[in-house]
Amino acid sequence: MARLRTTIPPSGHTVLVVDDDDDLRATLCRLLEVDGHEVLSAASGGQALELCRGRDIHIMLLDYFMPGMTGEEVVKHVRTFDSKVQIVLQTGYASEKLPRQMLRDLDIQGYHDKSEGPDKLLVWVDAALKTYKHVRALHASRSGLEYILKATPELHRLQPLDDLLLGILLQIQGLLGFTSAMLATLTPEGAVPTLSGALFTPELQELTLRIGTGRFGHTDWTVLTPEEQTLIRAALDSGQAHLGSQVILPLKAGERTLGVVMVDNPVQGSGDLHLLEIFAAQAAVAIENARLYSLATVDDLTGLVNKRAWLVRLEETIQLAARHEFSTSVLLLDLDHFKSVNDTYGHLAGDYVLAALGSCIQQQLRRSDVAGRYGGEELAVLLPHTSEAGALIIAERLRAAIEDLPLRWNGQSISVTVSIGTASLPHLVVLTPEDLVVDIFARADQSLYRAKRQGRNRVIQYATSTLEGSVQVSHPPI
C-alpha cells in the first residue's frame, strides 16, 4: 500500500545545520525539511562561515565541539558580519558549559543538550524563528524610518505637482521594494467632474489616475480589476490603509483625503503598515502644499507661472548670474492679431488658443527654463545659463512650433503666429542686479516691439555687443 504524504508549504526560512557527525547532520536536515524549511549543511566551522557569507541564513543549529574551530569560535566570527541570524548551540555533553552561562556570554538564542532528543531541539527552532521575525521586523522598521526621514525633505521641496506625484510613487516603491504602483488624486472640492471614464467614490467625487508604473504604466482604470477598484473605494471611504495582495494607502492631509496610492504586494503581509501610513501622511501634506503653491503661482488658463512668480524667478536668476558670471536670456512672446481670434471665434476660442499655446511652450522648453504669462496674450520665458546664440535657437524653435500648432474650434481651423523679442545679459556686467532685471526686460521688450513692427511672426534679438540698437536675426522664409 502506498504511503500517504502531506505536502508542507515552504516556510520561507533557511536553516543551516553545522555538525561534524554526518549521520546526525543528515537526520537533522530531514527533520527540518519536513517542516518546510530550506536546509543547508556544513561539516565544519569554516564551511559554515562560508555559507553564512554567501547566503541569507535565518537559523543556525551549531555543534559546540568540532575539529578545527569550536562552535563558540564560529559564533564570534559570525557576529562580526551578521547580527540577525539566530544561533542555537548544540552539545553532546551536558556538563560542557552551563546553558545560562553560554546564553549570557555569547550572542546566541538557544543552547540544546543533544541527549534531550529532537523534540526539544524543534522547540528551540520555533523559538528562534519567532525571535528572527521580530528582529527582521525591527530592522525593517528602523530602515523604513530612516528612508522616510531622508525622503521627506525631497517631498516638501517646491516643485511642479506632477514631479511631486512621481517622486511619491518612486519613494513608496523604494520603501516596499516592488515595481507596480499607481497614484490617483481626487477632484478638488468645488471642481466639476469630467465624467471621462475615471473612477468615482461613493460621493461621486472623481478619482483621476495621475501616474503609474509597471502594470499601471498606461494610467488607465481598465488595468484594475473590479475587486481592486472596490478595495480602493473602501480605503477612501474608511480612510484606513489596506495591507494585502495590494497595499492601498489613502493620502490624507488632516481630515481631507486627497487621493490614494496602490502598490502591488506579491509577498502578502510584508511591509510595516504604520510606517507606510506615516509616509502617506507626509506625502499628502506635500501634495496639499504643492496645490496651494500652484494656486498662488500658476496661471489657470495657460498652466504657466503667473506674472508675479515669473518676475521673482527672473530676479533670483539675474542675481545668481551676476554673482557667478553665467549667461542668462529672456524671451518675450506676443500672439499676433489675437484680437481677431476673439472677434471671429469668440472669447472661449481665445482661451482655448492661449491654453494650447501654454502647453506648446512647455513642451518645447527645458526643465530649467521658466515660462510665464505676463499679461493678456503676452508671455515671457526665462532661460538660465543660456547665451545669445542659445536663446536665438530656442526662440526660433518656439516660433516654428506655434506656427505649426494644429488648432480647431467648432470644426474650424485656427492659425496663429507669435512675435518674439530676445535679450541676454552682456558679457561684462557693469550694472547692479536690480538694474540688470529692468535692463534685460526692457531690451527684450524693445526687440519684441521691432518684431511686431517689422511684420510679425519673427524673432528679433537685441545685440549686447554694443548694448545699443537691435538687429533682426531670424524670420520665417518668404
- Hunting for cell 541676454 — which residue is that? 424
Grid cell for residue 215? 502594470
CA angle 387, 393, 396 (to 5 degrees): 135
Q: Are 246 and 238 in contact (CB under 8 A)?
A: no
Integer Cα distance of 224 and 106 in angstroms: 52
Report which residue type is found at 300.
Answer: D
Grid cell for residue 316? 533670483
The catalytic residue among 33, 255, 377, 434 is: 377
Q: Is 396 a catalytic residue?
A: no
Q: Are 254 and 239 in contact (CB under 8 A)?
A: no
Q: Are 405 and 341 in contact (CB under 8 A)?
A: no
- Hunting for cell 507606510 — which residue is that? 276
Tell me the CA distances in angstroms from 27 to 22, 67, 382, 431, one per residue in order. Answer: 9, 20, 76, 88
- Pairing type for strands 418-424 and 459-461 reads parallel
Integer Cα distance of 259 and 240 in angstroms: 12
Integer Cα distance of 112 and 115 in angstroms: 9
Sequence-distant (≥ 6) Cβ neighbours of residue 336 within 8 angstroms:
416, 417, 418, 419, 452, 456, 457
Integer Cα distance of 429 and 411 in angstroms: 52
Helices 71-78 and 45-54: angle between axes, nearest 10 degrees: 20
CA atoms within 13 A on the CB side of 408: 4
Residue 128 exposed, middle or buried by CB count within 10 Å (0-12, 13-18, 19+): buried
**Which residues participate in catalysis according to the annotation?**
377
